[in-house]
Structure 1
Amino acid sequence: MRSTGSRYRVFTDEQWERIEPLLPSNGGRRGHPFGDSRRVVEGIAYRFRTGIPWRDLPREEFGPLQTVWKRHRRYAGDGTWDRVFSQILVEADAAGKIDWAVSVDATIARVHQHATNTTRPEQDTGAGSNHKNLPWHEIELPGHGIGRSRGGLTTKIHQAVDGRGRPLAMVVTGGQRNDGAMLTEVLAEIRVARLVSGRPRTRPDAVIADRAYATGVIRSELRRRGIKAVIPDKRDQAAARKRRGSRGGRPPGLDTDAYRGRNVIERFFALAKQWRGIATRYDKLAITYRAAATLCAILTWIRLT
């Protein structure tokens, strides 16, 4: 059952009860604790679900827009949403609810003009690599993760989901960033701690991906880590191997039954892009845009578990 003003609400009472204990009471500040966290978090989710400007948030429902925006900026920068997401995954793994046949892909989001009126060094725009090896919430990408691709200014979300289409990790880059080149960084973001003790789980049973990931480097890396690769061969590679005859070597194996499950990631993208603030990027900062995608991922898990 939803609370009063359900037209504006995203979380049910039961869902809110799951994440409220995971939120900071005051964000590390001295003085008074945060007031009415649910009202503010609902405002954050409503803004990204509808894609409206921050200044158009209904004040009577969510309070001052400055409060909602500052809370989202704080939670994005201090890793609050990442910690909540990590804890949700810990609980799901302890209950045996994570399917470790992981699908990986990327989706493009057009960048609205409201997100582009910041300084973006031309040589760095859309680099999309975490060269400092910091947590992704602590680093603002060069060019704010906005790149120029065939569709204009775009951002790309590189995503890994479990076998039932629920998110495990994500990386935001410029739109022109190659999917396969980011696979290692996406897999490095998969880190599910144990509820009691033991090393976090970082290795999927299998990685299911389309032909954009069909390179020898990727196959070798997955083999090195003991991860089954469910990736079809590229047509030009298959043709070149055939031309060489016996010298072309054996084609890589493909588990066709497992590959049929790859569509779970497409279904997740379709679900996530129902949030208009994710389907189109209005945020100037990459960390606040990524934080919105993380909040959407949290909601996906608590709705389905």
Structure 2
Amino acid sequence: MDAELNVSYITLDGYVEVHKYRFVYFVTMFAAYLLIICFNSSIVCLIFNHQNLHEPMYIFIAALLLNSVLYSTNIYPKLLIDFLSEKQIISYSACIFQYFILYSLGSAEFLLLTAMSYDRYVSICKPLQYPTIMTKRNICILLVLAWVLAACHVVVPTILSAETKLCNFTFKGIVCNNAIYGLLCVQTSALSVYGVVAVVDLIILPFLFIIFTYTKIFIIAYRSGREVRRKAAETCLPHLMVLISFSSLSVYDIVIARVESSFPKTARLIMTLQAIVYHSLFNPLIYGLKMKEISKHLNRLFCPARII
């Protein structure tokens, strides 16, 4: 019976003194989850309800924030259960599922940021062609491609990992990320090769495309008048801030699978919590404060007394 339990379940060994600080962990993360849901959902609802926000730029922002809600919902409920449990365990099938959702939505975030950079590029560098290029049909295609392509890329390593025998049943983390490869008896060459292909397709190429588009935007803005520079700064800087934030956390996630054995447990926990809290709260704050139209509607919603 014990052998069967070991095969079916793995122990999550990434927590630090969870039995001592379980309620501190629980209250903190529960509050963070509520804030993520409220902040992101508020802006999504604003964009959905106000006709003047039904523009491509705001639709992509809504998609990005919705993606953050789904990303957090894949992680937080299990975390909250673990904080209150005597044993922090998860079935390997559930871990694989969490891994699939985690990287599908994480990769979709990069692709959504890529679509947003293309939208800004067309808006600023090809303004006369913007209405014919960024049609509702093309926006829907870009949104669907972002989620579908990401899922299609991640499903292959997910299946390969699910079919590989486990030799280790202690996972040095709290969220099932690519460190699960350390649980496998043998990491097949197909899994390694496909992992490199996925990183190139879902991270490196989109990142290079984003850098290319924003370089073109800043060149055009520099050569143009003050109004174009103002528009570029107002709409592009929030996207760049989100890109830099997400890219930094993605680099950590890629590296952790390689140096995981020598990475201090406390530092790993802090970085993981930062990855799942910071970015999902950072996005709505950046767009809510830096995007003029969204900020205006938020002020009307939460500070009606200030509106004359």
Query: Is the TM-score greater than 0.5?
Result: no
TM-score (norm. length: structure 1)? 0.29
TM-score (norm. length: structure 2)? 0.28
Larger helix percent = 2
